[in-house]
Amino acid sequence: MSTDMSADTDAKLKEIIAEQEEIFVRRQPKSQRLAEQAKQHLAGGVTSSWQITAPQPVWLSRGLGSKVWDVDGNEYVDLHGGYGAALAGHAHPAIAQAISEQAKNGTHFAQPTPDAVAVAAELAERFGLPQWRFANSGTEATMDAIHLMRSITGRDLIIKIEGCYHGHHDSVQVSVAPDEEDAGPQEKPSSAPASSGIPRAITDLTLIATFNDLDSVARLLEEHENEIAGMILEPVMMNAGIIKPQPGYLAQLKDLLRENGALLTFDEVKTGLTVGPGGVTRQENVQPDLITLAKSLGGGVAVAAIGGTAEVMGHVAEGGYEMVGTFNGNPLAMAATRAMLAEVATPEAYRGIEKLRQRAAAGIEEAIKTNGLTAHVVTAGAKGCVVFAPDTVTNYRGFLGVDDRYSHAHWLYQHNGGVFLPPWGKIEQWLISVQHNEADIDRLIANFAEFAQAVRTRTEG
Ligand SMILES: Cc1ncc(COP(=O)(O)O)c(C=O)c1O
């Protein structure tokens, strides 16, 4: 099978998708009713636009351990993980206990509590940056990081990587997933607004570089000498499948920015605790000026963290930038985060995840080989995905060439076979939690093998 599809192959694949979507909807009559009913008072019938997925949103009733159940009673091995936020799995006893104990003692004060000190100290130890503050979402964390880079340098321009996502505030809603037309020439990518409602005046302040391409950053620094506050990137790209940095890239990037008086933020909202105890920062041994964390940090509770060097956070401490928020360091969030760091994201848990990572990668690679699929597996700790392309993808333009129709057919096969992967085709990844086991991974592999066999036999016929 090749990703250069003939019209006949294309039609067969559409046929497979139509069949699987029909099974999907048949299994979920209550979800279908709720989806309709919800439209009356929930805009679009969901609570975030990313929940609108084909063929219909899945309404969940509960989660426990590595599983979730939909409102129709169907059980799934949950590898969606709430878009990468459920590293703890569901209803983890340590998280549940921390939350219920704190709930009995009050859930909100807008004054610091001792848990915040313990959490900040542990993050400093893991990520190597001495000073921390908290927020409530990844969006808030990256917004603060960019404000800080601008505030410290007194410069307005920032550099962002094409294809990275950093949340939904104006400065980073630029060239997130542009199509070929909007993306501009590869040697000079455009600053393409990622959404309506983003003023052009703000979009123009965000310059676009290419992942794994130091020259693209050097060019911008030269063209805008002494005007660039800093750069933000996902040190392993995780909103375009998984794209890893080439050896030396992150370290050289840091040096290049420093030489030009610009700061560096690693957005580890998605990578963070999921790739390892101290994120990509520790794995690659490159210390940025700022790190942003969210998603899995709070064991499933909304929390974010911003870490910085003594110099950067000294600016906050001295009042140079007011980093504020009513719910920052909320006691419930801090209690859950403390439990997450102390009792859930432990060395033993990471050893377990590593075994499952290897099992998933080997099993799926085997099915790819057996069925002659043009695809490969990419993993980073608890995260992983199948890329339907022959070669390693190194930047967003390579990712644009990955065929998305296979991803949706695969997602449907997994879902109908009792494994919940994140929707959105080639963009997202699975997340193995500390509560998954070998049987869960074997279900993932078996479903993939079934999908691969169906694609081979149906498209070859
Ligand atoms: C790398 C990255 N940064 C920031 C965000 C924004 O986080 P949130 O959705 O919590 O605002 C996301 C969300 O997917 C993300 O993947």
Whether the Cβ atoms of residue 349 and residue 156 lie closer than 8 Å to each other: no
Counting ligand 1 atoms within 8 A of each CB, the residue from 166, 168, 174 with the most, and so the one to mutate, is 166
Give all strands of the β-sheet with 383-387 in edge-to-edge order. 376-380, 383-387, 430-431
Q: Is the pLDDT of residue 9 over 90?
A: no
- Over residues 46-56, the mean pLDDT reads 91
74-86 tens-digit pLDDT:
999 999 999 999 9
- Over residues 141-167, the mean pLDDT reads 98
Output the six-digit token pair for 345: 């994201």
- Comparing 5-14, 297-306, 378-387, which segment has the lowest mean pLDDT? 5-14
Q: Is 266 in the pocket of ligand 1 (CB under 6 A)?
A: no
Would you state the pLDDT for residue 194?
Answer: 96
Strands 304-308 and 131-135: antiparallel
Q: Is the pLDDT of residue 412 over 90?
A: yes
**Token pair 């580890």: residue:** 268
Measured distance CA(349)–CA(282) in Å, rounded: 17
- Give the end-to-end CA distance of the chain in Å, rounded to a whole number: 11
Q: Is 115 in the pocket of ligand 1 (CB under 6 A)?
A: no
Q: Is 144 in the pocket of ligand 1 (CB under 6 A)?
A: no
Which residues touch 28 (CB under 8 Å, ≥6 apart)?
56, 58, 59, 70, 71, 72, 74
Q: How far is the CA of 140 from the centre of ligand 1 (A)?
A: 9
Strand partners, 442: none
Would you state the pLDDT for residue 8?
Answer: 82
Would you state the pLDDT for residue 247?
Answer: 98
Largest CA distance in the chain: 70
Q: Is the pLDDT of residue 5 over 80?
A: no
Q: Is the pLDDT of residue 1 over 50?
A: no
Output the six-digit token pair for 214: 């130091």
Would you state the pLDDT for residue 2?
Answer: 44
**pTM of the full structure:** 0.97
Query: What does the mean pLDDT of the chain come to?
Result: 96
Q: Is the pLDDT of residue 405 over 90?
A: no
**225: three-class secondary structure by DSSP:** coil
Q: CB neighbours (10 Å) of residue 340?
A: 27
Measured distance CA(206)–CA(208) in Å, rounded: 7
365-382 tens-digit pLDDT:
999 999 999 999 999 999
Counting ligand 1 atoms within 8 A of each CB, the residue from 134, 139, 268 with the most, and so the one to mutate, is 139
Q: How much of the chain exceeds pLDDT 70, in percent?
A: 99
Higher pLDDT, 211 or 458: 211
- Over residues 108-137, the mean pLDDT reads 98
Q: Is the pLDDT of residue 19 over 80?
A: yes
- Comparing 49-58, 171-180, 445-454, which segment has the lowest mean pLDDT? 49-58
Q: Is 270 in the pocket of ligand 1 (CB under 6 A)?
A: yes
Measured distance CA(146)–CA(384) in Å, rounded: 29
Q: How far is the CA of 380 from the centre of ligand 1 (A)?
A: 17
Q: Is the pLDDT of residue 6 over 80?
A: no
319-368 tens-digit pLDDT:
999 999 999 999 999 999 999 999 999 999 999 999 999 999 999 999 99
For the CA atoms of the chain, what is the radius of gyration? 22
Would you state the pLDDT for residue 461?
Answer: 57
Q: Is 265 in the pocket of ligand 1 (CB under 6 A)?
A: no
Output the six-digit token pair for 349: 């848990």
Whether the Cβ atoms of residue 120 and residue 187 lie closer than 8 Å to each other: no
Ligand 1, atom 13, lies closest to the CA of 167
Catalytic residues: 165, 267, 295
